Structure 1
Amino acid sequence: MTHAPRLIAHRGLSAQAPENTLAAVRAAHDAGIDWVELDVQLLGDGTPVIWHDHDVRRCSDGRGRLGDLTLAEAKRLDAGGWFGEAFAGEPMASLVQMLELLDELDMGLNLELKVNRGRDPKALVEGVLPVLLEAQPVARLIVSSFDARALDHARRHARPDCLPLGLLLERVPRDWASRCEAIDAYTVHTDWRRLRAARAGEITRAGYPLLCYTANDPLAFASRWQWGVSGVISDDPTRFEAHA
């Protein structure tokens, strides 16, 4: 089973490289961070790619919805120039390409099943999990999602010992435990700013590793370690190395 990571680079080392790219993962590795959090979605032709938004405007030189693109069209986009000249020409990464890089670098992956409005969570799970489970060792994998349908379908696809699932929440609700039980979750992930000590205590006493996103100030985050938080997801987790 996966050992819950302490430091995770949010969308790769996104403070220093364009998010969700091969370059951002290499930057995390070069900085000594061995886990990354990435987003996965499907293109219009069904290809799984590493991408966060429903469209390509913010993080590329193109326009249009991700779900309308083919892989050939997506590969023509510059997904790095918006971040800085040094990254001009950085391509959108397919899931296969990213998994090959993670294997090469021996890195862990928290993969978020990103279900944007109008997209099919079951199609995403079915397009992603066979590829993912074939390539990524279970000891270096957590799959998370805000979408309950995606998590439920993922659990139907694979047992807990083959697929560690993370319940991803903005704020931990009162029924968090039943939600975890419904999918046999391994971890709980939540916004560090909305977490309260009492709720953190409930989660950790129940035996669930608790991961918090997206924290970038180690001093402001310090009390969360005292609450029993297992790991932090940060744009620059190197800032936490002296505090974690």
Structure 2
Amino acid sequence: MKTLFAHRGMSSLAPENTLAAFSLTPEHGLSWVECDVDILADGTVVVSHDDTLDRCTDRPGSLYDLTAEDLDDIDAGSWFGDAFIGERIPTFDQFITLMNILKLNVNVEIKSCTSGWENTEKLISGVIEGLKNLNRDADVLVSSFNPLALAEFKRRCPNVAVACLFEPQIPEDWLSTLQACQADTINVANEGLTKDKVQEMKEHGLVVNVYTVNNLMRANQLFNWGVDGVFTDIGHQFPTRYRNG
């Protein structure tokens, strides 16, 4: 069974990484969502890809200057469309509550805090606490571009599956990095990925997921190469053979 991950939720139908985007996932037959998590100044874990507000809200500024109280004054939906005016940046706890209602599986990407390792450790702790409240029937995958953060998470949560994330230029020592993180899954970029590289990864017994695939022909090619899953913004456009409904 091939997996479709709703990348930042159904992010071509609703503003990315919002509860609105995640809520649309099951009605389009996807059972996995991917989200990004970072941390506010008061230690609140939030769902956001960027560490700044500039791209996906109605104001500029850094996440690291905010507290949970500030979230009610930030509009994370109006940039996308009038139907989403007033959509908020979700806290991780709000996200987990929604996942339990929708009965979805989650890939949580731990961002590499640009504000330093101390905040990264706080973020890891917050993710661990949040995941304790997730429905035990849900499948969980925790990923990060930061192998130090991923290894620390795995050390503290040895029973949770982790995935190393790599930029389009996969380093030569990628296998050592996976082994150091005790990862059995690799999340790699679509750009430049070849059949030979996929086969090499599969020969090591790895689960291979590819981001971000918004072309059905390319997705079909990747699946035929043996890729296990793809992250996509357009899951609703995939044939039903890849979806639950």
**How do residues 83-102 of structure 1 correspond to structure 2 at under 5 angstroms?**
83-102=80-99
Farther off after superposition, 77-86 or 126-135: 126-135
Contact 2:34–2:108, Cα closer than 8 Å, also in 1: yes
Which of the numbers 188, 205, 208 marks the counterpart of 1:207? 205
The CA RMSD measured in Å over matched residues stands at 1.7
Matched with 2:109 is: 112
Report the equivalent of 1:127: 126
* Shift, 1:155, TM fit: 1.2
**1:169 match:** 166
2:194 aligned residue: 196
**Structure 1 residue aligned with 2:26:** 29
Whether 1:149 and 2:139 are equivalent positions in the alignment is no
1:220 and 1:228 map into 2 onto residues whose CA distance is: 13
Per-residue CA shift, 1:192-239, capped at 9, x if unaligned? 122121121111121111000001011133321122100110001222
Aligned 8 A contact 1:200 1:227 in 2: yes
Confirm or deny: 8 A CA contact 2:104 2:138 kept in the other structure: no
Q: For the Cα contact (< 8 Å) 2:64–2:115, is it kept in 1?
A: no
Tell me the distance in 1 between the aligned counterparts of 2:137 and 2:176. 24
- Deviation of the 1:133 alpha carbon: 3.3
Question: 2:87 aligned with 1:76, yes or no?
Answer: no
Distance between the aligned counterparts of 1:56 and 1:82, measured in 2?
A: 12
Distance in 1, matches of 2:20 and 2:179, equals: 37
SS in 1 for 2:132: helix
Shift of the 134–186 alpha-carbon distance from structure 1 to 2, 3 Å rule, reads farther
The separation in 2 between residues aligned to 1:222 and 1:61, in whole angstroms, is 37
Relative to structure 2, which stretch is displaced further, 63-72 or 233-242? Answer: 233-242
Q: Cα distance, 1:29 vs. partner?
A: 1.8
Contact persistence 1:138–1:164 (CA under 8 A): no
Change in Cα spacing, 1:20 to 1:53, as seen in structure 2 (3 Å) is same
Q: Distance in 2 between matches of 1:242 and 1:119?
A: 43
Number of aligned residue pairs:
239
Shift in Å, 1:136: 4.6
Q: How far is the alpha carbon of 1:241 from its aligned partner?
A: 2.8
> Which ranges in structure 2 are unaligned for 5 or more consecutive residues?
none
Residues 1:222 and 1:175: Cα distance change in structure 2 (over 3 Å):
same
How big is the shift at 1:116? 4.0
After TM superposition, the score normalised by the length of structure 1 is 0.92
Using structure 2 for the length normalisation, give the TM-score.
0.92
| Cα pair distance change 1:110/1:23, threshold 3 Å | same
CA contact under 8 A between 1:38 and 1:50: conserved in structure 2? yes
Contiguous gaps of at least 5 residues in structure 1: none
Partner of 1:43: 40
> What CA distance in whole angstroms lies between the structure 2 residues aligned with 1:163 and 1:133?
11
Q: CA deviation at 1:24?
A: 0.2
**Aligned partner of 2:106: which letter?**
L
Offset of residue 57 of structure 1: 1.5
1:167-215 Cα distance to aligned partner (Å, 9 max, x none): 1001333222211111111310011122121121111121111000001
Structure 1, residues 62-112: CA drift from partner, whole Å, max 9, x if none? 221001001001222111111000000111100000000000100010000
- 1:236: which partner in 2? 234
Fraction of identical pairs, as percent: 36
